[in-house]
A and B are shown apart, each in its own frame.
Chain A
Amino acid sequence: MRLASGPVLRELLAREWRERYQGSVLGVAWLGLLPLAQLAVLAFVFGTLLPARASSGALPYPMFLALGLFPWLLFANAVNRGVTAYLDNAGLIARVPLPPSLYVHARVLGSVIVDGAGLVLVLGVLVAFGLRFDAVGALAALCGVAVLAVAALALARIAALLQVFVRDLAALVGQLTGLGFFLAPVLYERSQLPAATAEALGWNPLVAPLEAIRHGLSGDGVLPWAALGMSALVAVVLLGLSLGVQRRAGRHIEDFL
């Protein structure tokens, strides 16, 4: 059957959008309010209440943290929202002839768009408070975000499919992203760690994109182009793996929903 995937994806995205804000008093204003509120909390807690002693180079710690936290949230939220996409849409999958992966794509894309917009807004505020970056740094940050988004899509595709068969997986993914938060240089600069630990963490493919974003936008530190390239390769391999898993186990997904 011929299928117009483009308009359907747009409608699914619109639903994602409505699901987030429907019924709330402030509605779509949360798109901007939430990241700004988070930024304000970070500034207050780590700037005033508990002045951070961690090394953050030339950057104030709240600014340092924001440049790691918001990209991380973009990745983690996309994975966590995507993992239940099949189960949440089980009724539609059984009745509407759409490629099921569209539901995951809409979830991940919707999440990345919202968190990406939040990241841009936060950057605007940080620039107003003195953050400066050049074109190369911006390009590195953009590449870092792209790698995080592709990795999130690949992991969400795999996790969502496995979740259909192993219903415990969503909770496990939540815990794993929580662990990943501490294993990635979000709260700290990797150079602060013992050399062996820092090197070991370098194998985490999420480290390079996060450092590319932070170093690129702060002008502080070396841009990890080679590591970023490797992370991009890992993300693409994961995406290929997700396609393979989909081809094998996803062919009869409706039978297990």
Chain B
Amino acid sequence: MSAAASTPPVTREAPLVRAEGLSKRYPVVGASGDRLSALGRLLLGRAPLREVEVLSGIDLSIHRGESLGIVGENGAGKSTLLKLITGTLTPSTGRVVSEARIGALLELGAGFHPEYSGRDNVRMAAAIHGLAGEALAAKLPEIEAFAEIGRYFDEPVKHYSSGMVVRLGFAVIAATRPDLLITDEVLAVGDERFQKKCIRWIDQYLAEGGTLLLVSHSTYHVQKLCRHAIWLKDGRIEAQGDAFDVTQRYQAWLEQREAGEREAGAAARGDYRVDAMDVAAEGLESPAGGTIRIALRASSRSGDRPHLLVGLSRIDGTAIFGTGTEIDGVPAWPMGDDGSYGAHLVLEDVRLQPGEYRLRAHAMDPEALRLFDTVEHTFRVGGASREFGLLRLPHRWEAP
């Protein structure tokens, strides 16, 4: 069972961290004189003349025991938001209210001085978390053991691999056990075994009432570790709520964008046309599968009977299924005297994974050689699933 499902219920006490009207603008200091001008204006209590806004109007609360994922494209403002919450950045407007002891793994090697040994860096990182003296001495063996970097513990951090740096950083977090754990993609670095060890630790941390703020491009990690999620887009909150819903919406948007503009091309609006496509779907979110009914109406300028082709794909264009009247050996049926033809395609026992899909219908010439027209219909399958792939295949597990 995932931590997201097994985490104790979130209590409705005062939030551990609260962000109100948070925005961040970075000064533009490319030109000579920009810095001096900014200094003068800051001393007068004014903002620098040239700024670029990276985050705007962020309101959020994180309660003890909650696990919140943040998704978004590169440049959406995720790291800036984490830094504002952590306190390494100062907001341009708004405020972050927090009494939490925050443990942050924000960037690779965050806070580690390359010239100092792992042990020295651990001492500093632990001191930041209030761990010093005898308490630190008692914890050092535990940190050393968790990091599993052997003799490198006493070597300068500049000699470490990126994976070793992450090991050291996470070992400190594990030992200091913060009220709120903030982490980003750093867990993607390093070997799989240590990643799993970290995920197990986070699972346990959450199960024991820990609080997590996670930035990840992996919807799998967000869905596994987080109950709630925020989708940041262009520095603003595009969606927030249940982790599955938010990540699916984000994924669908990504896939749609990546698919780009489909070429209607010369095939569009030619001699053979698809005049209408009506789609009716039912039961798609049921584990037993559902039905999709596609009613097509087509016509041709010459009055010749067109062939119809239907394709089902993910929103990113990954093909799932396609068939046509020519493939199945059925004609399109005449719909009257106006040269229009129709056909209904019924897809049964459809077990699609939650996500965004696209149906396309094409009109082809009577020889089914040339494609003339295309119409599209997109639809969404809701629900929560951590299974992989496009389809929910009927399956079961059996004892060996």
- Chain A contacts to B: CB under 8 angstroms: 1-4, 7-8, 10-12, 14-15, 18, 91-98, 162, 165-167, 245, 248-249, 251-252, 254-256
Contacts and interface: CB of A to CB of B under 8 A. Distances in A.
Contacts of B107: 95
Contact of A95 (B43, B90, B106, B120): B106
A1 B100 contact: yes
B88 interface: yes
Given A3-B128, A165-B36, A256-B27, A248 B43 contact: yes
B111 A1 contact: no
B141 interface: no
B346 interface: no
B319 interface: no
A255 B99 CA distance: 24
Nearest to A6: B132
B86 to A, nearest CB: 5
Given A245-B43, A249-B43, A255-B27, A8 B86 contact: no
A14 B127 CA distance: 12
Given A11-B127, A165-B39, A248-B43, A2 B132 contact: no
B29 A2 contact: no
Interface string B88-99: 111010000011
Nearest to B128: A8
A131 B44 CA distance: 52
A46 B99 CA distance: 60
A96 B110 contact: yes
Contact of A255 (B26, B100, B102, B127): B26
A247 to B, nearest CB: 10
The 7 closest A-B pairs by CB, nearest first: A97-B87, A4-B130, A7-B132, A165-B39, A7-B127, A95-B110, A96-B111
B267 interface: no
B39 A1 contact: no
B47 to A, nearest CB: 9
B360 interface: no
A131 B38 CA distance: 53
Nearest to B25: A255
A18 B115 CA distance: 11
Contacts of A255: 26-27, 89-90
Interface in B91-137: 92, 98-102, 104, 106-107, 110-111, 113, 116, 120, 123-124, 127-133
A92 B111 contact: yes
A96 B83 CA distance: 9
28 contacts: A1-B87, A1-B100, A2-B99, A2-B101, A2-B130, A4-B129, A7-B131, A8-B124, A11-B124, A14-B123, A15-B113, A15-B116, A15-B120, A92-B113, A95-B88, A96-B88, A97-B104, A165-B35, A166-B39, A245-B43, A248-B44, A248-B45, A249-B39, A252-B27, A252-B42, A252-B90, A254-B88, A256-B29
B332 to A, nearest CB: 65
A175 to B, nearest CB: 19
Contacts of B42: 248-249, 251-252
A93 B83 CA distance: 11
Contacts of B98: 1
Given A1-B86, A165-B38, 6 more contacts: A1-B98, A4-B128, A96-B110, A97-B102, A97-B104, A165-B39
Contacts of B128: 3-4, 8, 96-98
Contacts of A98: 128
A106 B87 CA distance: 20
Given A165-B38, A249-B43, A256-B38, A4 B127 contact: yes
Contacts of B124: 8, 11-12, 15
A97 B86 contact: yes
Nearest to A249: B42
Contacts of B38: 165, 256
A180 to B, nearest CB: 24
Nearest to A165: B39
Given A4-B127, A7-B132, A95-B107, A251 B101 contact: no
A1 B29 contact: no
Contacts of B100: 1-2
Given A248-B45, A255-B26, A10 B89 contact: no
A12 B107 CA distance: 21
Contacts of A8: 124, 127-128
B132 A97 contact: no
Nearest to A162: B39
Interface string B21-38: 000001101000001101
A28 B43 CA distance: 42
A7 B39 CA distance: 32
A252 B35 CA distance: 12
Contacts of A4: 127-130, 132
Contacts of B43: 245, 248-249
A172 B56 CA distance: 39
Nearest to B129: A4
A29 B308 CA distance: 91
Greatest chain A CB density within 10 A among B42, B44, B102, B107 is at: B42
